[in-house]
């Protein structure tokens, strides 16, 4: 029997938009700076860990578990903060199977939000929870809630808004709740005909870690509670040794790659590697669309990726084989403000090349051109675009 305890009196501000696979919905960070946690959320002790699988391993699909740093522009132009549990599918249309989602530990659920596509009549839920007060976790793309969470959501304080991101009308509801669950309790389901997502997303922040390093802190999402881009960790690392080994065996990650669960902090100041922003983008940006990342694959970090969320440059993720010298297909970490114009050919999208130049330590010029290979004397045209850090 599911053992859930419903309490009252928690105030939480939640601004989470479920990150979507193949949709136009955006993701915004949680604002936990004003949270007043209930007494059930205790300070983290030494060795506080998750102890239960969030999904049965038999419910994983061919994609298995995708590590941190996924690149899927335009919504995930930058390395993604969470991991993905890809779900098994069925039928000729490869529809995901509706499967149970379990509490990974003894947790307190503080926030539930819903995003309903009014045209397709599909609803995704997001759940924010705490293992202890310094560890905030979340699930995105929960297809349905347990009866106890449904009751908490329906009775929770909060508000709903209707908006149109360009792909139709959506209703978004954010509710404050306080529900405790034991490790292994079913808290909902993922997959099935009522959701468009192929995976369950699982993210975790640890406010105790040394802050991650980015090229420009002002461009990086942060909040007072330190559940932000500076404190992203891999959820798998916080399971007990038995469950951790089971999950690591399912990671879609190249053999020998470190860290095993991927990374999100790929910026290398003074080089082209990392996040780049349109000059008009807010600090931090409200959307990843329009920007670009010159990063490395989260499944095989030896593969560099042009992750482009800018339609003028051609939205998509384009890979190539990097070299450590010269001006053709130079790895991004080797591109500096040296006056050299670099060219990229033999991309995973045939028939295009990219020209790249750092004009100073925080400025980048880039252009997409139609060509099979780099010319002997590549040159920018008036179509070249500028980005900044």
CATH code: domain 4-248 is: 2.70.70.10
Among the listed residues 169, 144, 133, the one whose alpha carbon sits nearest the alpha carbon of residue 40:
133
pLDDT at 35: 55
Q: How far apart are the first and last CA of the chain?
A: 52
pLDDT at 18: 35
pLDDT value at residue 13 = 30
Taking only the tens place, the pLDDT of each residue in 156-185 is: 999 999 988 766 888 999 999 999 999 999
Residue 346 φ then ψ, to 5°:
55, 45
At 38 the pLDDT is: 66
CA of residue 317 relative to chain centroid, distance: 15
- The residues pairing with 128 across neighbouring beta strands, listed in sequence order, are 111, 138
Domain edges within the chain: 4-248, 274-388
Question: What pLDDT shows up at residue 36?
Answer: 61
The tens digit of pLDDT for each residue in 227-272 reads: 999 999 999 999 999 999 999 999 999 999 999 999 999 999 999 9
Sites in the chain below the pLDDT cut of 50: 1-34
Give the C-alpha separation, 79 to 28, whole Å: 14
Three-class SS of residue 148?
Answer: helix
CA distance 77 to 318: 12
Query: Which residues partner with 205 through β-bridges?
Result: 136, 232
Rounded to whole angstroms, how far apart are CA atoms 189 and 59? 11
Q: What element of type H or E holds 248?
A: helix 241-248
How far is Cα 146 from Cα 136, in angstroms, rounded to an integer? 20
Token pair recorded at residue 305: 């990726």
Closest CA to 87 of 198, 214, 4: 198
Sign, CA dihedral 33-38-39-42, equals: negative
Q: Can you give the pLDDT at residue 91? A: 85
Report pLDDT for 353: 98
Measured in degrees and rounded to the nearest 5, phi and psi for residue 162 equal -110, 135
Mean pLDDT score of the chain, rounded to an integer? 90
Measured CA to CA, the distance from residue 303 to residue 320 in angstroms comes to 7
| Closest to 14 in 3D by CA, of 260, 223, 202 | 223
């Amino acid at each position: 029997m599911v053992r859930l305890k419903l309490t009252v009196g928690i105030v939480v501000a939640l601004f989470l938009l479920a990150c979507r696979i193949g949709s136009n919905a955006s993701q915004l960070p949680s604002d936990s700076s004003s949270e007043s946690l209930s007494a059930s959320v205790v300070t983290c002790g030494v060795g506080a860990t998750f102890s239960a699988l969030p999904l049965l391993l038999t419910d994983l699909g061919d994609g298995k578990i995708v590590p941190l740093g996924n690149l899927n522009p335009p919504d995930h132009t930058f390395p993604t903060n969470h991991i993905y549990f890809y779900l098994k599918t069925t039928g000729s249309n490869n529809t995901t199977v509706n499967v149970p989602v379990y509490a990974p530990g003894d947790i307190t659920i503080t926030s539930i939000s819903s995003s309903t596509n009014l045209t397709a009549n599909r609803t995704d839920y997001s759940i924010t929870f705490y293992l202890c007060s310094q560890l905030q976790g979340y699930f995105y793309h929960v297809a349905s809630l347990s009866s106890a969470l449904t009751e908490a959501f329906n009775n929770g304080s909060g508000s709903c808004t209707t908006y149109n991101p360009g792909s139709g009308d959506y209703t978004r509801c954010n509710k404050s709740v306080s529900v405790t669950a034991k490790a292994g309790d079913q808290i909902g389901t993922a997959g099935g005909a009522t959701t468009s997502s192929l995976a369950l997303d699982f993210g975790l922040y640890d406010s105790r870690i040394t802050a991650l390093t980015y090229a420009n802190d002002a461009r990086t999402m942060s909040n007072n509670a330190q559940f932000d881009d500076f404190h992203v960790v891999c959820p798998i690392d916080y399971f007990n040794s038995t469950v951790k080994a089971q999950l690591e065996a399912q990671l879609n990650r190249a053999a020998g790659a470190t860290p095993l669960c991927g990374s999100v902090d790929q910026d290398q100041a003074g080089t082209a590697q990392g996040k780049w922003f349109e000059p008009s983008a807010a600090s931090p940006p409200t959307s990843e669309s329009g920007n670009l990342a010159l990063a490395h694959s989260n499944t095989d970090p030896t593969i560099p990726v042009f992750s482009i969320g800018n339609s003028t440059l051609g939205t998509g993720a384009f890979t190539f084989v990097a070299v450590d010298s010269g001006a053709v297909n130079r790895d991004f970490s080797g591109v500096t403000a040296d006056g050299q114009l670099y060219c990229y050919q033999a991309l995973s999208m045939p028939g295009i090349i990219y020209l790249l130049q750092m004009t100073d330590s925080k400025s980048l010029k880039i252009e997409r051109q139609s060509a099979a290979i780099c010319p002997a004397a590549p040159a920018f045209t008036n179509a070249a675009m500028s980005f900044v850090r």
